[in-house]
Structure 1
Amino acid sequence: MSENLPKLSVHVLGGFSITYGDKPVSFGRNNATKAMKLLQILIYRGEQGIAREKLLEELYGREELADVANNLRVTVHRLKKMLADAGLPPYDYVNIKKGIYRWDAPMETEVDARRFSQLIKEAEEAEDLKEKIMLLKKACMIYTGDFLPDLSGDDWALVEGIQYKNQYTEALKQLCNYLMDSGDYEEVLKLCAPACEMYPFDEWQAVRIDCYIALNQYKEALKEYENTAKMFFEELGISPSEKMLTQFEMMSSKVNYNPQALKDIEKRLKEQEEEEGGAYYCNLPSFRDNYRLISRMIERNGQSVYMMLCSITNGKGQPMENGSKLEAMTEELYVSIKYCLRRGDCFTKYSPSQFLILLVGANKENCAMIFERIKKYYAREHKSWGQYLEYFISSVADVDQGDSPIRFDKDDTMWK
């Protein structure tokens, strides 16, 4: 190994990339080839290497090839050419000895995942708290996403990825606890920001909310909660955890407004004028609140209110699987519902393929006509789409009594 050559820095967390010195190494259109996969395996295995049989399994295990040994020789040759074309110094790079394939480079090769694990180990062994915090912080900053995401379909890469994520999760938890104990909430907010981006459903937002509360920044805490709740309901159809709901109740009571600013409050509450008019769309938590209010109102005035569940199916009564087609169909259904209903009606997205609608002053016959109107508008450009649309209706009174195909769960947090 030559000490005069620049270091080869390899990133396998959050994607695959190589930097030679301060210059990115580009492989052109070779990113999805067997040679690229071989490169990733060899660099990650490092000095330990990988046995020929195991390498053949990882490269060609799911393929039926007449001569896998020859295919491996060709792949190794292509890898060497690929490295030369990328501008790396002339060298063999692939060391084969006694059936073990190893990465053999003339320069120092550093892999971010290995450095990450080493820092975690050093932090575990550190006795000084300041040193432990420093090491954990360095490790968390190195972790930028899942291990080799392009190879996540391979069992070995999936297992490695789970281990690295678990290490990151535990390290960040420890780090946040240490920093919050010392009152360094601003630093915790910064450290949890990338975690929220990488793993939005792991509720790192709850840690950020705790920090905002500790800093008496209740409006920021409330905004963090509302954004998270909206994401959970719209993407997964579930509510945030009990911890986050408790946080919400506490910080809501802390958000105070100046009584003299009533006009400003009214301005904030007032709906923004919309040119197209139509039904009012709200997120699922707001829809649930509207439902509860209307349910109380009809106890007094006896007004007829129906709830409709519109679903996009696969044509056989089953929910359509998520995908680009469903996304387009859902967007079109949103437009159709908004266009076909009155301003006094409200609706929400319940799941990736379903919308709930509150129809004030409607009766059962009206509901069927309303659905036909929505269906007709929905299929105006794609005639076949109408066959994928189904609906259920129930009066709000029936929903409350439990005598309905549309109902709340016992904990009032989900819809059936």
Structure 2
Amino acid sequence: MMNIEENKLQMPNYSPSLKRKRLFNELDQHEKVSLLLVTGDSGYGKTMLISSYICEKRIPAVWYQLGSSDRYAHIFLSYVKTGISRQLGIDHSPQILEAEEVDSELATIVSILADRKEPLLLVFDDYQLVDSSPEIEPIINELIHTSPAVTVIIISRGLPRLPIAKLKVERKYKELTTADLAFTLDETCRFFNEMNQLNLENQEVQFIFERTEGWIASYQLILGVIAKMNVKERLSLWSTFPYVQDIYDYLSVEVLQAQPEEVKHFLYKTSLLTELDPVVIDEFLGIDYSEKILSRLLTQHLFVYRDQQGMIRYHRLFRQYLYQNYKNKIKNDYMKEHLRLATIYEERYQLINSFAHYTIGKDYLKAAKVMGLIRDLYNPVESMLFLDGWLEEISAGDSFANNTLFLIRCVPLATLKELTTLFEENISLLRKKKNELWLCNLQHRLATIYLMRGDIVKAKQLFSDSLKGSEQFHDHAMSALNLILLAEIYRYLRKDEEAIEHVRKAVFISERYKIKHTQIHALDTLATIYLDKEKVDKAAPYIQLALNIAKEHDKSSLTFIYTTMGRLYSVKNDGTKAIEWGEKAVSLAESFNNDFDNGWSKHELGKSYLKCKKFEEAKRCFEQASEAFSLFTHYQCMVEISLYHLYTVIGDKAQAAKTYSEIKNTCEKYDFYWLLDGSKPKAKVKNLKERPKQLTIHTLGNFNVCYENKPITIKRQSSLRLLQFFITHRNKKIEKDMIIDTVFPDGSLSTIDNHFNVSLSVLRKTLEPNLKSGVHSRFIKRFGNQYLFDTTDVDLDIETFMTLTKKGDDADINNLEEAVKLFRGDYFEEYPYEAMLENERERLRVLFVKTSQTLAQHYFEQNHYKKCFEYFERILDKDPYQEDIYFDYLEMLLKKNLVTKATKVASDMKQFFTNEMGISVNDQIENIFSKFSVQMHG
């Protein structure tokens, strides 16, 4: 006879885990029920929960770890009898029964349990392995009804085939599901911060909880990755989450590989859907049994669940895993699959789904047509907010920046104002919660709306804030888009150097990370800036490259590319081609049927007509553009300026004067000062002499302030912190609430408000001793509930440093040298632990390093090696953490055969990185020396 495998009757002994008080309270009801069912997907801690509960409560229990061989009644009953006999102290020979003994042995077990008065738990783990056996169900039924003191606990990945209706009616049945087993937000925080002492920030805990939906196995895998990471390293991980190899490996091995090929195919294909509608799936896959597959997946708890509306969905993390795997498997064909789904949804009049899939599939023309139907049928605000999250959800983790511009362009004009209010409220809430992970995306969306509505100042600040966040979280697509739109703003403000600097950064990011849609936009913007200067030779290759990429990767941008091509030929004085390209742009814009594209293309075509002296055609285009831009005040004003020029050219003085008066009123009302200068008659322009700068502030190295060349001291600490904040956010209108949250984070609202007013008053009087009223301050200006630190009349060293380091086409080496001399130390060097200064300090330090590198390279090429090496030494003295600088320095030394010096630098590098940072650089150093066929001395 076969013997019992002892390990099957041993309860797992897990290491101490988080105590699940919430679930323990539920399990305490076991005395009232005969059957306790614990079902859930893999990795939700079912076994751990029950075993830890039994150990904690010291309840007598029989544990049976099931395998596929236990599906036979005589084997199953053998283990049950052995376990019960041992628990009750009954002599028993642990051997497998014969098949013919099943009925008599079951009767004996039932008889023994019927007399049981004290609680006893019969635990059957991995029950899904025997559930299909018709021999096991009757045994379980008998065990369930033996005694009120006996509770059968079934742990399974799927719902067992047991008759439980009567038990439910009698209230002798209890079930814990995936939803119950999942960690709550509080448990998530306790797991990472109390149990594992990681001290994660609230926003990180919230992020993990929302992205994993409380899946316990993922927590352990995430813990293994982030346990030794610092905050900066973790932020980098969250930007690519959930692409953690350990999580994907777990899902692959534990879940996907266990499925038959038919189910795998079904899972992959349907990962493109956020809602698993059987009717849609049948049509998409060409089958008629998807409802049966979904039912089986639900029964097996294969990371599938019904939401509160009854719609079947995949667990978010599981769907992202499937989606990315499928996307990698079929490459670019995944967009064709989205387009197939878009057509199916459109035919079923599920328009929001259809729009989302057309957009992700990059058929922007059809997406725009569907949006027209959405505008007519749905509440515009609700549909836009829904789409705001829907696109991101469907594309499973791709950056929202991929489609944000197209979505905003499709928004009905009347909706923008309502959306603005909602986004502002959400941003305020996220700021209060200090939830920066979601903040930068929302800031970008609101900034785009402000830009299109013409509030350039607010847009600029929000794009800048979003840029800091997107750089912090390594969202490269969002960073590039923020840089491009900031470049456009600087272009409108006629700050061409800043515009070029920003757009070049965007081009670099787009090329490095292969982000085609931002590359197109950046190249188009760069070409436009050069066309402003009539530098045709520089603009032409950029716009041609943008055109080539757009035709293949993003046809929605062709309206703007065609428009810029028209402008290119207009500047070249080729009117025929300028009009030809302009008409192509207008035709495409009209097919998209959105106002912004229409206004943009017709305005530029009108300018081409005007240059060719086709005045009627120009007037018609300008009037149509003005109507299209009716709610885009800034862009409408630009069109009115073109109309003013038209009336001036044709000699209609009365109409020109009337139009100019309207432009002037609009510019003064909305503070469009950069537009007014361009349209003002030349006779009225006055040259004002620059006022002397009375205030001097040094922030690089030792901090000091002088007023009219006399040192001044800011005695009040809170006033000093306020000045530090203002300098860091100079020339930007900042909400009072944001200033208070950063500078005065503690205290009651009334106390903080008073603290702010006193600190501000002291600061103003310190900086301007003769100031009688804060209203007249030249430096700290108030605009309603916003404040701005105006540096127009301030000699501020960091602004001088920034100006000197601007690299145009002909970089001035003397300016760069002056900039490096000016960098006497880090930004507010005496305040190293002030968090609000960190980003600006790092930005300036990086700029100093890049400038010094440029100078070092310049002098190396000029054979001034001593100066070259001095700059390398200066960099390493200021920032010894620059691994790449060491390597560049070594290469230049070895190129000039300065082996002894190179050996000394290599030794210093080893000393610093190995001893102080615990990082080995030996292999890299040896590779550099071997590259020049030399050995290190000593």
TM-score (norm 1): 0.49
Higher strand share: 1
TM-score (norm 2): 0.23
Higher helix share: 2
Q: Which has the larger radius of gyration?
A: 2
